[in-house]
Chain A
Amino acid sequence: MSDLAIRALHLAKEYKIGEAQHNTLRDQFMAGVKSLFKRSEEKRRKDRFWALHDVSFDIKKGEMVGIIGHNGAGKSTLLKILSRITEPTHGRAEIHGRVGSLLEVGTGFHFELTGRENVYLYGAILGMTKAEIDRKFKKIVEFSEIEQFLDTAVKHYSSGMYVRLAFAVAAHLDPEILLIDEVLSVGDLAFQRKCMEQARSLRESGSTVIVVSHNMFSIKAMCDRVIYLSHGKVLADGPPGEVISLYEKDILGGAGELDTPHWAQARLGSDPTQRVVVITDMQILNEGGERRTVFNFGERGRVRIKYELRQSIKNLNFVVALIRSDGVACCNYSSELDGFKIRVKPGDGAFEVLIPAIKLVADLYSVHVMVWDDKFQQLYGAQIGGSFHVRHELFNSHFGVYHESAEWFSPNTDQVGTAERSPIKVETH
């Protein structure tokens, strides 16, 4: 018996985007009529894109492999193919063993059913038999820590409870190959630790685990091999330390590309060089001016931007926005609002933004630069300049978007100042 768990050979996946999707007969008909009048080959190229492009690798039994890459690099598409949700356009993957995939925990839960009922339903959806669920039921409930709500409809659950129960079911799937997409970021740290332990014990029992994550710390801690995908291709494949530092170097260098965010493409087109303002370079630095990809919570940072202006525009308003990895816009720094005037003559220009102490919770943030007019009406440019991690041991997205200490008072004056323990110290380097 070979010791191979997965062999991927020249996997490729092409998607249609935008207009090429036709959901009603009328759309289909109109597209047919339109294509009579258009050069079809050019249109075909525009409407399609390759999410994966000639991806090959072997994964041995018992390996724990992390898959990293920028947004849209093809990580999720790869997992979808390996878990048989979608077919590749070209190439093939051989999968030896029972696959369990956790592409999003809890899909398949029904809100009207109780926790107990959902354990069975979700278990069956993930591919367990009833006998198997019966056998593991006690362990699942113990793992989830929500025994007392087992007979409550899931619609009354908090999102934390919901995720715990879903993950508890999924964690007891006992697959030979486990595919995980970002689920390790669920729940509080204590629960996360349990999940990691579960993944580790799965691996100890000989299972193969493949994790997609933005969290370089957990990838580094868990995996013995990392595959770095970029634009649908394998850019690097090897020991975590090396591959992750390559990835971080790419983020640092911006990899020479300042992509246009998806939402802005409709207004600006996807090619930045066609616009009146082009961001030509962007660097993320610490307060002292060194390039950084990781900031400790509470540190200040600098964003250094070079741009090219093709026309003279009045009232230029540069905006630097921090966008969390799940797409939440966390804050905006605007030159207009901060009263900073930017030179409006055509030509090259540069400026630097010193951002206040970062109080955002630990996560991956990308830095977007937008150019508006002073009324935020006309958009001249929008590009993604790079990203950075915020590091903190406690504050993650379950603590909110940002964290700031408050002052606490009690009407009972003799209690003031008798805190039993000192407040949590926030590291500021």
Chain B
Amino acid sequence: MGKESGLERVLVVSATTLKSIPEAPLPPVLKAKTLPTVVVQASKGWLRPDFRAIWDYRELLYFLVWRDVKVRYKQTAIGAAWAICQPLLTMMIFAVIFGRFAKIPSNNVPYPIFALAGLLPWTYFSQSITRSGGSLVADANLIRRIYFPRLIIPASAVVAPLVDLALSFLILLVMMAWYRVVPDWAVLTLPLFICLAVCAALGVSLWLSALNVRYRDVGHAIPFLVQFWMYASPIAYPLSLIPRRWHVLYSLNPMVAVVEGFRWGLLGKGSPELEAILTGTVVALVLLLSGLVFFKRMERSFADIV
């Protein structure tokens, strides 16, 4: 209420509120614009995701990512430095325990660089699935009250950690300069492996976030899953440590392809493990496609059960 007496203003208004609405004029003819017609009905069977609707809402994706990035380090003392600290501190622990004590080989590059190059894509991946796993439940209010393609929510949780990845990448560059590691032409393949990481993360996130709406068990299982998954990926150790005959089975884990590819592209030592990278790519795509279909199938009941 303004500076004048609020009560007086309200009183004056109140007398006219209900009576002041005149007969509405006939509505003018709507602009000759094609109005989209939407049919709402029970959907049946397996469905294709509606990419058109997702494209229409791409700006919402942008704003949700922006919200996540903005809010994440609010009211923290060191702010976005956390994005750098997490992989950096883990690298130090790894360097001492695995590099110094356990003397794990590191493909002829200094162990800290070796570990950090694996930790960056891994931190991205684990952040993505941790954040997106509970994302639908966290935004339950939105889901219950406003329509938009629900896929935007886990998708934004997979895109937002890319900002952290970019920040911590700077540290990796500084470390590489310090250790005088110079990348060769293979560095050009790096964006491809980042894409692969996004595909794998989105695929897993779609499954987990949709399942978590129905079964909150998923939320409890995710921390364990992430821990297990890290040891099942060549982050603290090189792929060469795994016996040859297990390679096919081992590389069903798409993060093997991501981490190996990332390291090869950046540190450029040896030849890439093509077999592992191909297997991982196929698995990541299967996860993504099945995730999209599964999510679409679950999506229709989100508002009722979340």
B37 touches A96 (CB 8 A): yes
Are A188's CB and B6's CB within 8 A? yes
A189 at the interface (CB under 8 A from B): yes
Instruction: State in angstroms the CA–CA spacing of A338 and B300 once bound together.
Output: 53
Q: Does B75 contact A (CB under 8 A)?
A: yes
Name the B residues within 8 Å of A96 (CB-CB): 35-37
Q: Which of A80, A117, A224 meets B303, CB within 8 Å?
A: A80
The count of chain B contact residues (Cβ–Cβ below 8 Å) is 60
Complex: how many Å from CA A347 to CA B200? 72
Contact: A125 with B60, CB < 8 Å? Answer: yes
Closest to A108 in B: B142
B1-33 interface mask toward A, CB cutoff 8 Å, 1 = contact, 0 = none? 100001111110111111111001111111000
Closest to B6 in A: A188
B28 touching A88, Cβ below 8 Å: no
Does any Cβ of B come within 8 Å of A190's Cβ? yes
Is there an interface contact between A84 and B67, defined as CB atoms closer than 8 Å? no
Say whether B216 contacts A24, CB under 8 Å.
yes
Q: Is the CB of B147 within 8 A of A221?
A: no
Residue B179 at the A interface, CB < 8 A? no
Instruction: List, in ascending order, chain B residues with CB within 8 A of A88's CB.
Output: 40-42
Residue-wise, chain B 91-126 has the 8 Å CB interface mask toward A (1 for contact) of 000000000000000000000000000000000000
Assembled-state Cα–Cα distance A125/B144 (Å): 13
Contact in complex: B9, A124 (CB < 8 Å): no
Do A190 and B13 have beta carbons less than 8 Å apart?
Answer: yes
In the complex the two chains form, is A121's CB within 8 Å of B67's CB?
A: yes
Complex: A216 Cα to B38 Cα, angstroms: 31
Shortest CB-to-CB span from B188 to chain A, Å, is 33
The residues of A that contact B57 with a CB separation of less than 8 Å are: 127
CA gap between A81 and B300 in the complex, in Å? 11
Q: Number of contacting residues on A, CB 8 A?
A: 69
Complex alpha-carbon distance, A189 and B13, angstroms? 7
Give CA–CA (A84, B7) in the complex, Å.
41
A319 at the B interface (CB under 8 A) = no
B90 in the interface (beta carbon within 8 A): no
* B148 neighbours in A (Cβ, 8 Å): 125, 127
Task: Judge whether A393 is part of the interface by a CB distance below 8 angstroms.
Answer: yes
The yes or no answer to A205 lying at the interface (CB within 8 A) is: yes
Known: A24-B215, A24-B216, A112-B75. A189 touches B10 (CB 8 A): yes
B14 touches A104 (CB 8 A): no
Residue-wise interface mask of B (62-93) relative to A, using a CB-CB cutoff of 8 A (1 in contact, 0 not) = 11101100110011000000000000000000
Q: Is the CB of B71 within 8 A of A113?
A: yes
Q: Is B145 an interface residue (CB 8 A)?
A: yes
A84 touches B40 (CB 8 A): yes
**B146: contacting residue among A94, A126, A196, A224, CB under 8 A:** A126
Per-position 1/0 for A89-129, Cβ under 8 A of B: 11111111111010110011010110001001100111101
Bound CA–CA A124/B67 (angstroms): 11
B139-180 to A contact mask, C-beta < 8 Å, 1/0:
001111111100000000000000000000000000000000
B15 touches A94 (CB 8 A): no
- A23-B214, A95-B39, A103-B145 known; 12 other A-B pairs, CB under 8 Å? A28-B215, A64-B24, A80-B303, A84-B40, A85-B146, A89-B42, A96-B35, A107-B145, A176-B35, A189-B14, A394-B11, A421-B8
- Interface residues of chain A, those whose CB is within 8 Å of chain B, are 1, 15, 21, 23-26, 28, 61-62, 64, 80-99, 101, 103-104, 107-108, 110, 112-113, 117, 120-121, 124-127, 129-130, 176, 188-190, 192-193, 196, 200, 203-206, 217-218, 221-222, 224, 393-394, 421, 424
Identify 30 residue pairs between A and B in the complex whose beta-carbon atoms are under 8 Å apart, listed by A's number.
Answer: A24-B215, A64-B24, A82-B40, A84-B38, A84-B147, A91-B41, A95-B38, A96-B35, A99-B38, A99-B147, A101-B146, A104-B145, A107-B146, A112-B70, A112-B74, A121-B64, A127-B57, A127-B148, A130-B62, A189-B10, A193-B13, A203-B24, A204-B25, A206-B29, A218-B18, A221-B18, A221-B21, A222-B21, A394-B10, A424-B11
Taking beta carbons and an 8 Å cutoff, which residues of B are in contact with A? 1, 6-11, 13-21, 24-30, 35-43, 57, 59-60, 62-64, 66-67, 70-71, 74-75, 141-148, 214-217, 300, 303-305
